Amino acid sequence: MSAATPFAVLAVALGGALVVACLEQAVAGATVSPRVLLRRAWRQVDQPLTTARGHDAWLYHLAPPLLLLAAVVALAMVPWAPGFRGVELSTGVILFAAAIAYVTPAVLMAGWGGGRPLVVLGGFRFVALMLAFAMPLAMVITAVAAPAESLRPAAIVDVQRAVPTALVQPLALLLWIPSAMTVAMLPPFDLATAREELGGGAFGQYTGVHAGMVALAQRILVLALAGMTAALFLSGWHGPLLPPAVWMALKTLAVATLMLWAGRRSPRVELDRLLSLAWKLAIPAAIGAIAWAGLVTLLFYVP
């Protein structure tokens, strides 16, 4: 890791957020126009901030930067190419999970700082959702790290040189994708934070630069989760003909498109049903996924 790595990560964050926004336009059927997006973002920042009377100003102002910080730190953990592995830590995958976990207090702060009852409720609903879905997220990380015998994302990528983890541990992938979509506040799991919800969701009180920060953070989160999915499940940068970075970019874009597209085909899932599915189905299945990962590791990966 060189001194330029943080700046490179920031560049990937900003550029990647634009790419994700263009993907959203494409998936929605609109014409893809980065210029329109940038102009809209610029105008967004110009708008004034509105605040509710008696709201908690500290939490209101601290939530979007925290969300942005969490998204960027998560993105920094994603390994993009053998030469550019982000900020490499020997426990990188756990720091990724930690950064993703900080989305929850950020949304809670956004909700509480908003001050209006429905906005506060939106924040609480997101917390309830994330408490349920953070567990499969962390357990699946454990499951995919087991064959690599390491918590370094690049090592997990390298162990998939022959076979991607998606084929060896399909249950883990099946649990990971909805959890990742819930963290990234993507439909159909975004009941708590969607703008169309009552009161505007947990971010309903944000306008201007705060709303811009939240939107940027959400796009970076999608990018980080898609990139990590490609790294953990789809063999990362390994592939036959093209250079490694191109493979990684293609896989990340494919996962991001899948996550953005899947929500448009189904209505928003109700909170009760989501929580029920998470606690009663996803977590026991995640325990099973860990057991399966252990079995697979002992049989195939340990020499």
Does residue number 89 form part of the binding site for another protein (CB under 8 A)?
A: yes
Candidates 130-138, 215-223, 234-242, 285-293; binding stretch for another protein (CB under 8 A): 130-138
Does residue number 88 form part of the binding site for another protein (CB under 8 A)?
A: no
Does residue number 105 form part of the binding site for another protein (CB under 8 A)?
A: yes
Are the CB atoms for 74 and 66 separated by under 8 Å? Answer: no
Q: What is the longest distance spanned by two Cα atoms in the chain?
A: 64
- State whether residue 84 is helix, strand or coil: strand
Cα–Cα distances in angstroms (integers) from residue 105 to residues 60, 111, 123, 124, 245, in the given order: 12, 10, 9, 10, 33
Write the DSSP symbol of residue 300.
Answer: I
Does residue number 94 form part of the binding site for another protein (CB under 8 A)?
A: yes
Candidates 124-132, 159-167, 209-217, 289-297; binding stretch for another protein (CB under 8 A): 124-132
Contacts with another protein in 4-63 (CB under 8 A)? 54, 56, 58-59
Distance in Å, CB of 125 to another protein, minimum:
11
Residue from 87, 127, 174, 287 touching another protein (CB under 8 A): that is: 127
Write the DSSP symbol of residue 19.
Answer: H
Residue from 124, 261, 279, 301 touching another protein (CB under 8 A): that is: 124
> Which backbone phi and psi does 32 adopt, to 5 degrees?
-80, 120
Residue from 23, 104, 223, 248 touching another protein (CB under 8 A): that is: 104
Cα–Cα distances in angstroms (integers) from residue 174 to residues 125, 129, 181, 229, in the given order: 23, 18, 12, 11
> Which backbone phi and psi does 62 adopt, to 5 degrees?
-85, -20
Does residue number 97 form part of the binding site for another protein (CB under 8 A)?
A: yes
Residues in touch with another protein (CB under 8 A): 54, 56, 58-59, 89-91, 94-95, 97-98, 101-102, 104-105, 108-109, 112, 124, 127, 131, 134, 138, 151
